[in-house]
Structure 1
Amino acid sequence: MKLILVRHAKSSWDDLTLDDHDRPLNERGEAGAERMGAWLADRGHVPKTLLCSTAKRAEMTAKILMEQFADKPVTDYISGLYHATPDTILAKIRNAPAGDLMVVGHNPGMASFADLISETRPKHERFASFPTTSTLISEVHLDSWKDLKFGDARLINFVVPRDLKVLL
C-alpha cells in the first residue's frame, strides 16, 4: 500500500482577524496544490482514502488535489490532525481502511512524522523543513494500516512544488 503525506499548501495571511484554523490558501498555494495534484495523478499516486485536518487551508489543499484525480478518494476530515504530533498521526492512520492512503496535515508534526515513518530519508535538501505542499510518497508492505510502525515506509519519492516546474 502507498502512504502519501502532504503538508497543506501556502496559506494566506491577508486577514489577521481570522483564527489560525480558518486561514484559507493564497493564490500561490492554490496553484501549488493544483500542480501537485496533477503530478500525483499523472504518476498514478491516487489514494483510495484521504485523511485531512479540518483547518481551512488543509481542506482547500485536499479539495484541489482531488480535483486532479479521476477516481476520488473517500475523505475523512479529522479535527485531531490539526497540528497533530507524529504519534497522533500514526494513530489516525492505524484506523484507516486498507488501501492507498493520503494524509493532509501541518508542520511541525507532518515533517517529524515523515522522518519517523521512513526507512531512509530522501536526499532532498528541503525534506527536513517539509515546506508547504511538500509530498512524500512511500510504500509499506502491510495488509492493514493497524500494523503500521515508525520506520515501516520505503521511499518512492519526495517533491516540493518548486521541483514540479522541472518535472512536469
Structure 2
Amino acid sequence: RRLILLRHAHSSWANRSLKDHERPLSGRGRQQAASIAAKLRELGWLPELVLCSDSTRTRETLEIIKRHTVELLQVETHFLTTYYSVAAMDGHTAQHIRETICKFAKDDIATILCMGHNRGWEEAASILCGRPLELKTSNAALLEAHGCSWQETFASAGAGGWKLREILQP
C-alpha cells in the first residue's frame, strides 16, 4: 500500500480580507503544483483515490495536478471539511487520515493521495514513519506499508511502521 501525504502548494496572502479557508494559490504555488504533478507521474505514484481538504488552496492544487496528470482526471475524489479543521488539532490528524482512508478506500486500491495542511500533515507523516519530518508547501511524503486491506495495513504498520520512500519537493 502506498500513501501520499501532500501539503497544498504555496498560498497567496495578497487579499487579507479573505478567510484562511478561502485563500487561493500564489503564482509560486501554481508552479509548485505543476512541478509536484510531474514528479509524482515520473515516479509512478499515481493515486487511485484522492482525499482532499475542501479549502480553496487544496482544491486549486489538486486541479493543477489533475491538469498535468491526465491519468488522474477520472480518479475518485472526496473533498473533506475535516481535513482542514483537524490539521490544526495537535495529535489528531494521523488517526483521522486512517479513519477516512478506511471509510473510502476499497481493498483493490493500492495508492491513495491525502492532501491537507500543516501542522497536521507534517505531524501525521512523522507519526506514521516514526521520525520527525518537515513538509513545506507542496511537499509530499511518499509512504509504504504492507497489508491485504487498508484496515490491515494500518493495524499492522501502526505508528512508526510505514516506510518513508521519499519527501518529494517541487
Show the counterpart of 1:101.
Answer: 112
What 5-or-longer segments of structure 2 have no aligned partner?
87-91
Runs of 4+ in 1 over 6 A off after TM superposition: none
Show the counterpart of 1:43.
Answer: 43
Greater helix proportion:
2
Given that 1:25 and 1:57 are in contact with CA atoms closer than 8 Å, whether structure 2 keeps it comes out as: yes
101-110 or 61-70, larger mean C-alpha shift: 61-70
1:144 is displaced (CA, Å) by 1.8
1:154 is displaced (CA, Å) by 1.1
Given that 1:83 and 1:109 are in contact with CA atoms closer than 8 Å, whether structure 2 keeps it comes out as: no
Give the Cα separation in 2 of the matches to 1:113 and 1:14: 29
Instruction: Kindly report the root-mean-square deviation, in angstroms, between the aligned alpha carbons of the 2 structures.
Output: 1.5
Give the Cα separation in 2 of the matches to 1:152 and 1:89: 15
Show the counterpart of 1:9.
Answer: 9
TM-score (norm 2): 0.85
Name the SS for the 1:95 alignment partner. Answer: helix
What 5-or-longer segments of structure 1 have no aligned partner?
122-126, 162-168
> 1:117 is matched by which residue type in structure 2?
L
Asked if 1:114 corresponds to 2:116, the answer is: no
CA deviations 1:7-44 (Å, max 9, x no partner) are 00000011111111110000000100100001100110
Show the counterpart of 1:137.
Answer: 142
1:13-162 equivalences in 2 (<5 Å): 13-72=13-72, 73-84=75-86, 85-86=92-93, 87-97=95-105, 98=107, 99=109, 100-119=111-130, 121=131, 128-147=133-152, 148=154, 149-161=158-170
Q: Does the C-alpha gap of structure 1 residues 132 and 83 become closer, same or farther in structure 2, counting only changes over 3 Å?
A: farther
CA deviations 1:54-73 (Å, max 9, x no partner) are 00001111111122223222
Identical residues among aligned pairs (%): 30
Give the Cα separation in 1 of the matches to 2:161 and 2:104: 16
Given that 2:125 and 2:133 are in contact with CA atoms closer than 8 Å, whether structure 1 keeps it comes out as: no
Alignment length, in residue pairs?
155
1:94 is displaced (CA, Å) by 2.2
Name the SS for the 1:101 alignment partner. Answer: strand
1:143 is displaced (CA, Å) by 2.0
Given that 1:96 and 1:145 are in contact with CA atoms closer than 8 Å, whether structure 2 keeps it comes out as: no
